[in-house]
C-alpha cells in the first residue's frame, strides 16, 4: 500500500539567507574592528645595540630606540591608534628609581617618540614599578617584605609627573594599588598636567597568562602578586574596582587579561561612562602563535577571531601585540 508523503515543514525563518556569500556576510556583520581602536604594546630596553628577540613571544622584541621608532612609524602608517611603552632598564633597585628618572629608558623613549610622532599617534606609558624594582613587585616593600600601598602611591605620583613631562599622553596605571587614580590625578593637576589622561587597569587579575611578559621585561619577581592583583574567581570585585576608578576620575578603564575575562569586560562596559579597553596579554598572544606554529590552528583566522571576540564583548579599544599586522589586513 502506497504511503502518503507528508510535506516537509518549511522553516518560517531562514537566517542562512544572510550567510550565502562573503559580500553578504560582510554587509551584515555586527562587530567590526577598526585599526584606530588598536594599541600596540612595545618594549624598549637599555644597553642593547640591536633588537633582542623575546623567545616566549615569537615575533616580538625588546627594541632599541632606533628600532622602536621604525616600528612606531609602521604602526602609524597602518592606522594603529596608539602605542603603549614598557621600559627595560639595565639597573634596578628596591625603589625602582629608574622609573621616575627623566633619563631612565622609559622616559627617554617617551620623549624620543613624543617629539617625532606626538601629533600622529597617542604615545602611552606603563606606569608601574615592576620592570624597575630588583624584587619585581609593582610597589615599594615595607620592612616585612609586603607591598606598602601608600608608600607606593607616592612613587606612582613621582613617576606620573616624570612621564607627563616626557610627553606621555596617557598613563597606564597597572599597579593595582588602592587609590592610585585619585592620587596620580591630584599630582598631575597640581603640576599643571590637566590634559594628561589616566588609563586605569581597573580589573587586572593575577593570571597565569602573564608568563611570557616576565621574559619581555626581564622581570626579577620573587613570589607572587596575588595580594594586589585580583583573584581570577572574582567577577563582582572587578566591577567594584572599575566603579572606584571611575569615581576617582579615570579617563579610561580596562580589563586585563581580555579573553578569559569577557564576562567582566561585558559588565564593566554596561556600567562605564568612559571608554572601556581590554589588554590581550602575552599569554593570549603566545598560545595562538604556538598552536599555529604546530599547525593546529589557522594563524591569521585565529588572530582576527580573537580580537573580534574581545570587541564583541564590549571593548572600545584593544591592546594587542598584533595591532600593526591586523591593521594592515584591515586596510
CB 284 within 8 A of CB 212: no
Strands (E), the chain: 38-45, 52-53, 61-63, 82-88, 122-127, 170-173, 197-204, 252-256, 276-279, 317-319
Residues designated catalytic: 204, 256
User: Rounded to an integer, what distance in angstroms lies between the CA atom of residue 267 and that of residue 313?
Assistant: 9
**DSSP one-letter code for 91:** -
Q: What is the DSSP string of 166-191?
A: HT-SEEEE-S--TTHHHHHHHHHHHT
Q: Calculate the alpha carbon distances from 49 to 16, 64, 217, 261 in Å.
A: 56, 7, 17, 38
In 96-146 the beta strands, taken as DSSP E runs, fall at 122-127
* CA 174 to chain CA centroid, nearest Å: 9
For residues 319 and 255, the answer to whether their CB atoms sit within 8 Å is no
Amino acid at each position: 500500500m502506497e504511503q502518503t508523503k507528508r510535506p516537509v515543514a518549511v522553516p518560517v525563518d531562514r537566517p542562512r539567507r544572510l550567510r550565502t556569500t562573503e559580500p553578504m556576510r560582510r554587509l551584515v556583520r555586527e562587530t567590526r574592528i577598526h585599526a584606530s581602536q588598536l594599541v600596540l604594546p612595545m618594549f624598549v630596553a637599555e644597553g642593547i645595540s640591536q633588537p633582542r628577540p623575546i623567545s616566549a613571544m615569537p615575533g616580538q622584541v625588546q627594541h632599541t630606540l632606533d628600532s622602536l621608532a621604525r616600528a612606531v612609524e609602521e604602526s602609524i602608517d597602518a592606522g594603529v591608534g596608539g602605542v603603549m611603552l614598557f621600559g627595560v632598564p639595565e639597573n634596578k633597585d628596591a625603589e625602582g628609581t629608574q622609573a621616575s628618572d627623566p633619563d631612565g629608558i622609559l622616559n627617554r623613549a617617551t620623549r624620543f617618540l613624543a617629539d617625532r610622532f606626538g601629533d600622529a599617534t597617542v604615545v602611552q606609558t606603563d606606569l608601574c614599578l615592576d620592570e624597575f624594582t630588583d624584587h619585581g613587585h609593582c610597589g615599594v616593600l615595607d620592612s616585612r617584605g609586603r607591598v606598602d600601598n601608600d608608600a607606593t602611591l607616592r612613587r606612582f605620583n613621582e613617576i606620573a609627573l616624570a612621564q607627563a613631562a616626557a610627553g606621555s599622553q596617557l598613563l597606564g596605571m597597572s599597579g593595582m594599588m588602592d587609590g592610585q587614580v585619585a592620587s596620580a590625578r591630584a599630582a598631575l593637576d597640581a603640576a599643571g598636567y590637566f590634559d594628561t589622561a589616566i588609563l586605569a587597569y581597573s580589573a587586572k587579575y593575577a593570571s597565569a597568562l602573564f608568563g611570557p611578559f616576565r621574559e619581555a621585561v626581564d622581570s626579577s619577581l620573587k613570589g607572587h602578586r596575588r595580594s594586589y592583583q585580583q583573584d581570577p574567581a572574582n567577577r563582582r570585585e572587578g566591577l567594584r574596582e572599575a566603579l572606584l576608578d571611575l569615581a576617582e576620575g579615570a579617563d579610561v578603564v580596562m580589563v586585563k587579561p581580555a579573553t578569559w575575562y569577557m564576562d567582566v569586560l561585558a559588565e564593566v562596559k554596561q556600567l562605564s561612562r568612559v571608554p572601556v579597553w581590554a589588554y590581550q596579554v602575552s599569554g593570549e598572544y603566545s598560545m595562538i602563535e604556538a598552536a599555529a606554529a604546530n599547525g593546529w590552528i589557522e594563524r591569521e583566522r585565529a588572530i582576527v577571531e580573537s580580537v573580534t571576540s574581545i570587541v564583541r564583548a564590549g571593548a572600545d579599544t584593544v591592546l594587542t601585540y598584533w595591532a600593526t599586522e591586523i591593521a594592515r589586513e584591515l586596510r
